Amino acid sequence: MKPIVIIVSAFLLVQGIFAQEREAKIIFLDSTSIKGYGEIKKDKIYFRVDQKSERTEWDSEMVSGIVFEGYGFSEVYEYVPIKNKKNPVLMEVIERGNVSLYKNPTYGYLSNLIINSNPSPNFQMNNDLKTFPNNGLINHNYRKFKETSKLSYTESYYVKRDNENVAINLADRFKKTAPEYFSDCPALLEKIKTKELDVDTIPDIVFYYNDYCNDYFDK
């Protein structure tokens, strides 16, 4: 029997894989703040007031976010309630305005598992079996494998107005969601309709709305 070659691709989410402690300012729920050193891992903030102190863990029930500072730049992260999610998610603030824009980056590894197997057609199922997609079963006793992986990075953009309870993922059903969400700005709707602005330019859509659509509100 010829060896069976099966390729299994798996995307392993690793949020905060590049987490690194940096100078930061943690923001409490009452808007007060303390400077120190912080990092983010899996929607948790780890913070210490100085490098000799023991770091402590913070979440959305205790703080509103964290600001990383240094080299003349700052990165603002806030806990944002999003649709169909029980707890707020820590996301980077990209734009504040009539519509606020948040970025939710996800790091991970895209792994290719190549399995060479030659199982007996009548082998017995036991604890050595592993289930793969489409209910495929491979006997570990009859396989050799190698795994290769590469870093993967994706971005999701969420939008929210001050009077809205949760942020929404604008890329989710973009053709329907975007025109509905920005229905009060005809000029922007035309750009979306003609695909001058699309799902790949979500930040530009929000920038345009905040910069040019205010005229419609003032009329």
Mean pLDDT, residues 40-44: 92
| Residue 73: band (very low, low, confident or very high) from pLDDT cuts 50, 70, 90 | confident
d(CA 55, CA 37): 9
Q: Tokens representing 39?
A: 């990092």
Q: Tokens representing 125?
A: 């199922």
Phi-psi region of 121 (alpha: psi -120 to 50; beta: other; left: phi over 0): alpha
Give the start-end residues of each E strand in the chain.
4-13, 22-28, 33-41, 44-48, 56-58, 63-70, 73-80, 89-95, 100-117, 129-132, 136-139, 143-160, 168-169
Model confidence at 144: pLDDT above 80: no
d(CA 65, CA 28): 7
Burial of 127 (0-12, 13-18, 19+ CB in 10 A): exposed
CA distances from 165 to 20, 83, 84, 140 (A): 31, 9, 12, 49
| Residue 90: band (very low, low, confident or very high) from pLDDT cuts 50, 70, 90 | very high
DSSP-derived 3-state class of residue 55: coil
Could you report the per-residue pLDDT of 123-143, keeping only the tens digit for each?
Answer: 444 444 344 344 444 333 334
CA atoms lying within 13 Å on the CB side of residue 209: 26
Query: Are the CB atoms for 132 and 138 separated by under 8 Å?
Result: yes
d(CA 48, CA 215): 45
Query: Are the CB atoms for 157 and 101 separated by under 8 Å?
Result: yes
CA atoms lying within 13 Å on the CB side of residue 30: 2
| Residue 84: band (very low, low, confident or very high) from pLDDT cuts 50, 70, 90 | confident
Weakest mean pLDDT among 49-58, 103-112, 153-162, 177-186: 103-112
DSSP-derived 3-state class of residue 179: helix
Q: Looking at residue 171, what is its pLDDT?
A: 94
